[in-house]
A and B are shown apart, each in its own frame.
Chain A
Amino acid sequence: MGLGDALRRGIAAPFKALLPKNPWLRVLVYALPFVLLLALFSPALDAVVKLVELVLRLLEPLLQTTLGRVLLLLATFTLGGMFAVWLLRARVRDMRAEAALGRHLRAVAALVGGGKRCRELFQKVARYRGQPPTRYAHVVADADLKLARLALDAGRLDEALGWLARVIEPGLPPELLRSLLQLRVRTWRRQGGILPGALRSEIERAVARFPKDYTLLGEWRDLVQHDGDANAYAEAQERVLAQAPPAAAARERQRWIDALVAAGAAAVADDDREAARRIGKKLARADKDGPSAGLLLGDVQRAAGDLRGAVRSWGATRSPQGLDRIAELLGQHPGAIDPRELLECCPLQGTLLLVARELARAGEPARAERAARLAAEALGPTTTVCAVLAEVLELLGQEGKARLLREQAVARLLGPALAGVPGSGAGGGT
Chain B
Amino acid sequence: MTFVAPSRLLQAEPVADGSFWQWLLALGREPGVVEFGLSLLVLGTAFVFWWRMSALVRDARSRQALADYLLGVEQALHGDLDGAHARLQKVVQNDPENHYARLLLGKVLAQRGEAAEAHKQHVVLKTAFGIDSDENDLMLAESLLAAGQPREAAEAAERALQRTGDRADGQAFVYRARLQCGDFAGALPAGRRLLELLPDGAERQRHRQGLARTMALAGGERARAGDVAGATALLRNAERLGANNDATRLLAARLSAAEQGLANVTAALLAPQAPVPGNRLPIPAAARPLPLANVAPPQAVAGLVPPERWRCRACQAPLADRLVECPHCRAADAAELEEPLLVADLTSPLQAMDAIDVNEAHVQRLVRAVLDGEPADRERARGELLDLRTVAVPALLRAAWHAHGPGQDTLVGVLRAMGPAIAPALFAASDDLAHQRLLPLGSRSPGALVGRVVQGFDRSALPHVEPLFASARPEHRKILIDFFLGLHDTTQFQLVLERFPPTEIVHRLNKADAEVLRRFLQVVPPGHFIAEVLLRESTFGRDDVLLAAIPGADHPEVLRSVMVARGASTSAVTALIAGLAVAEQAADAEHILGELGAGALEFVLAAFADPEVPADERQRLQRVLVRCGPAAVAEICDSFGPEPSAFDDALREVLVGIGDAAVPALQAAYERSGWLERVSIGLISRHTNRRVQIVLALRAIGSAAAQSALHELADAERDANLRLRLQEALHELQARSRAPGGDDGPR
Report which A residues bind B (CB closer than 8 A): 63-64, 66, 69-70, 73-74, 77, 81, 95-96, 98-106, 108-109, 111-114, 133, 135-136, 139, 142, 145-146, 149, 173, 175-176, 178-179, 182, 213-215, 245-251, 253-254, 290, 318-324, 327-328, 331, 339-340, 343-344, 347-355, 359, 367, 370-371, 374, 378-380, 382-388, 390-391, 403, 406-407, 409-411, 413-426
Contacts and interface: CB of A to CB of B under 8 A. Distances in A.
A370 B356 contact: yes
Nearest to B348: A347
A41 B296 CA distance: 121
B404 interface: no
Contact of A352 (B38, B305, B346): B346
A254 B323 contact: yes
B57 A425 contact: no
A403 B298 CA distance: 10
Given A387-B295, A388-B293, A348 B342 contact: yes
A351 B346 contact: yes
Interface centre among A104, A327, A385, A387 (most CB of B within 10 A): A387
Contact of B342 (A102, A384, A421): A384
B343 A319 contact: yes
A418 B297 contact: no
Interface string B330-355: 00100001010111111011101101
A79 to B, nearest CB: 13
Nearest to B87: A175
Contact of B57 (A98, A348, A380, A390): A98
Interface string B57-96: 1111101001101110111011111010000000000000
Nearest to B103: A112
B292 A406 contact: no
B73 A113 contact: no
Interface of B: 1, 31, 34-35, 38-39, 42, 46, 53, 55-61, 63, 66-67, 69-71, 73-75, 77-81, 83, 100, 103-104, 110-113, 133-136, 138, 146, 167, 220, 223-226, 228, 250-251, 253-254, 257-258, 261-263, 265-266, 269-270, 290-298, 300-301, 304-305, 309, 322-325, 332, 337, 339, 341-346, 348-350, 352-353, 355-358
Say whether chain A's binding surface is mostly helix, strand, loop, or mixed: helix
A383 B297 contact: yes
Nearest to B323: A254
Contacts of B66: 101, 105, 135-136
Nearest to B31: A66
A305 B223 CA distance: 53
Contacts of A290: 322
B352 A406 contact: no
A250 B301 contact: no
Contacts of A324: 291-292
A234 B282 CA distance: 42
A149 B77 contact: yes
A380 B344 CA distance: 13
A327 B113 contact: no
A410 B293 contact: no
A318 B301 contact: no
A103 B70 CA distance: 13
B341 A380 contact: yes
Nearest to A416: B224
B296 A387 contact: yes
Contacts of A420: 224-226
A425 B263 contact: yes
Contact of A386 (B81, B103, B301): B301
28 contacts: A73-B35, A96-B53, A102-B60, A103-B56, A106-B56, A114-B133, A133-B60, A136-B70, A149-B77, A175-B80, A178-B78, A251-B324, A320-B291, A322-B343, A339-B353, A343-B350, A350-B343, A359-B356, A374-B356, A382-B339, A390-B298, A403-B270, A406-B298, A410-B270, A411-B262, A413-B304, A418-B262, A421-B226
A169 to B, nearest CB: 15
B250 A413 contact: yes
Given A101-B66, A250-B324, A343-B346, A175 B56 contact: no
Instruction: Give the 3 A-B residue pairs with the shortest CB-CB distance, closest first.
Output: A246-B113, A102-B56, A350-B342
Contacts of B133: 113-114
Contacts of A96: 53
A327 B358 CA distance: 24
A358 to B, nearest CB: 11
Given A73-B39, A251-B324, 4 more contacts: A66-B31, A251-B325, A391-B293, A425-B263
Interface centre among A213, A339, A410 (most CB of B within 10 A): A410
A64 B83 CA distance: 69
Nearest to A244: B79
A416 B350 CA distance: 36
B224 A348 contact: no
Given A253-B324, A391-B293, A424-B262, A182 B78 contact: yes
Contact of A64 (B1, B61, B228, B270): B1
A68 B355 CA distance: 117
Contacts of B323: 254
Contacts of A414: 250, 253-254, 257, 262, 265-266
Contact of B112 (A245, A331, A378): A245
Contact of A426 (B70, B257, B297, B339): B257
A69 B226 CA distance: 87
A411 B261 CA distance: 11
A376 to B, nearest CB: 11
A133 B67 CA distance: 11
